[in-house]
Chain A
Amino acid sequence: MGLTDEARLVGLARRGIASAFDELFRRHSRRVHDLAYHMLSDRDAADDVVQEVFLRVHRRLDGFRGQCSLRGWILRITVNECLSQRRRARRRQQQLPETVVGAAPPERRIEYAEAARRALQALRPVDRALVILRDVEGHTYEEIAEVLRCSSNSVGVRLHRARKRLRGELGRLLPEEEGR
């Protein structure tokens, strides 16, 4: 995807060309959904986040100055929306689902993946976003820095701490892991 092309799409979407905005949705919605799903562990909530994020993108597109990448901007909105969703969910005292829907990898990997998913919930939301962006979604430090508005050095330091904390949580959830 060329940057020039994307800038043109943004320009057309700003001028009200619906098909241009739809194309932006097609390009970025999958990432938004993945990030939201891993942040919230809830498929329906992730679907709602996608809707809210793109409504917000549509509303704020005029204000997007192109100082960061469009993807970074959209993912930042996604992280913020996920944090808001969690706050709302907590107020409603909803419980996160205990089961995960997905393909079935080998037995041990399921157990580990499930434990990691639960361990993620123990992190602070921003740290959770950081780990998901890096270890689940595979973004670079620089991309994460853009999304979370910090330096890439800071990403490294925070990632180290968050992983350490995750390791501790994993050890609690998988006792044999602690001994390894």
Chain B
Amino acid sequence: MKRLVCRRVQRALSRMVDGRLTGDQAEGVRAHLAVCEQCEREHAGLLRLRAALADQPRVEMRADALERLQTRLAARGRPSAAPQIALAAFGLVALVGLAAGLPRLVRPARERETTMLAAAPGRPDAVTAEHRQSEAIVPGAVEGARVVGTRRAEKPAANRGQSSLRPARAGRKGTVPRRVGGEAPSPKTGAGSTIIIVVTPQEASCEAGVALRMASIEGADGRPEAMVTMIETRGRDGSVQYVDYEYHPVEPEGTATGSASEPGEEGMRDGDDTQDDPQTGTGGPGAEFAAGLVECGAEAV
């Protein structure tokens, strides 16, 4: 009889050390261990075995493992990073070209983010420290950017000729063209416009938090009418916590303050959109929010 009990207990020991027994079951086993030397010896041996296995040494992976893999993938036909960057850069320049007169958009990605975030007019309560932290892992380069879709929409009716950034209600969806692929409606565009959504690299690397998107809006005649830049913050469950967007109308040729075909000189200059620049301290509570993000971003750089 005792041997039968011992066999059952010893079968249960493995689960017990893994914490898979219920409280009652574990108590029963422990009661038996207290009176059975053989089973207790088995139990102790099992614990020693687990400790020895947990003590197995770890070795580091080769530091160049990813590079080796990239080389092998490239040999198999995967496009290397360089053409992707070139493609992304081309796409970005093309978009920026459409948006003549928008000097802030012809800046390097990091600076552009800074400017845009600084313009936030209200502090989004839903944005937590966790999100800010996640901004720090967002690279500022344009690697991976690409056009993912187009949509016919209506012409911009309201806010034409203005530059505004408005907070959407936390968790509210559909306030801006936020779906990748451009199927979502835009409140700021009217019939005859085309939205091109460009997914920035944050799509690929942002674990949770801030994603930036840009849309070029063209009129029915194909001329660029505006650029929309969007900020999305996401919780780790994927829910949209806060959405902002900025609408930049494209001035007709000749009235633009900067030339998109020569983006470097004009666009890179600091202070050409000082109204909401965090460095000027005039951005109100939004600037506070922005400053937090920008600070993290600066650390990442």
Contact B52 A115 (CB under 8 A): yes
- The stretch of B38-46, B168-176, B244-252 in contact with A is B38-46
A113 touches B57 (CB 8 A): yes
Q: A160-B11, A160-B15 known; A47 and B45 CB under 8 Å? A: no
> Which chain B residue lies CB-closest to A135?
B53
Stretch at the interface among B103-111, B199-207, B274-282: B199-207
The A22-55 residues at the B interface (CB cut-off 8 A) are 22-23, 25-26, 29-30, 33-34, 37-38, 43, 46-47, 50-51, 54-55
Report the separation of the CA atoms of residues A12 and B61 in the bound assembly, to the nearest whole angstrom: 26
B57 contacts A25, CB within 8 Å? no
Question: Does B35 have its Cβ within 8 Å of any Cβ on chain A?
Answer: no
Bound form: Cα–Cα A29–B208 in Å: 21
CB distance from B239 to the nearest CB of A (A): 9
Which residues of B have CB within 8 Å of A62? none
| Residue A109 at the chain B interface, CB threshold 8 Å | yes
Are B207 and A1 touching (Cβ within 8 A)?
A: yes
8 Å CB contact of A5 from B72, B81, B238:
B238
Contact between A58 and B56, CB atoms less than 8 A apart: no
B202-251, CB < 8 A from A: 203-208, 236-238
Is B54 a contact of A135 with CB atoms below 8 Å?
A: yes
With both chains docked as a complex, state the minimum distance between the C-beta of A107 and any C-beta of chain B, in angstroms: 12
Residue from B20, B55, B204, B207 in contact with A20 in the complex, judged by beta carbons closer than 8 Å: B204
Kindly identify which residue among B11, B65, B204 contacts A12, using a CB–CB cutoff of 8 Å: B204
The answer to whether A16 and B78 touch across the interface, beta carbons within 8 angstroms, is: yes
In the bound complex, CA of A132 to CA of B126 (Å): 42
Q: How far is the CB of A39 from chain B (nearest CB, A)?
A: 11
B238 touches A112 (CB 8 A): no
Q: Is B186 an interface residue (CB 8 A)?
A: no
A136 to B56, CA, bound (A): 7
Interface string of B68-111 (1 = CB under 8 A from A): 11101100101111001000000000000000000000000000
What separation, in Å, do the CA atoms of A112 and B203 have in the docked complex? 47
Contact of B238 among A4, A16, A29, A180 (CB under 8 A): A4
A-contact 0/1 string along B176-210, CB 8 Å cutoff: 00000000000000000000000001011111100
A2 within 8 A of B: yes
Q: Which residue of B lies closest to A53 (CB)?
A: B69
Q: In the complex, what distance in Å separates the CA atom of A17 from the CA atom of B56? A: 37
Q: Would you list 23 pairs from A and B whose C-beta atoms are within 8 A, ordered by A residue?
A: A2-B207, A18-B73, A19-B143, A22-B66, A23-B205, A26-B66, A46-B59, A47-B61, A50-B65, A50-B69, A55-B72, A58-B78, A102-B56, A102-B58, A117-B56, A131-B53, A156-B18, A156-B20, A163-B49, A167-B45, A167-B49, A170-B45, A177-B45
Spell out B's residues near A (CB within 8 Å). Answer: 11, 13-15, 18, 20, 41, 44-46, 48-59, 61-62, 65-66, 68-70, 72-73, 76, 78-81, 84, 143-144, 146, 201, 203-208, 236-238
Binding site for B on A (CB under 8 A): 1-5, 8-9, 12, 16-23, 25-26, 29-30, 33-34, 37-38, 43, 46-47, 50-51, 54-55, 58, 100-103, 105, 109, 112-113, 115-117, 120, 131-132, 134-136, 138, 141, 156, 159-160, 163, 166-167, 170, 177, 180
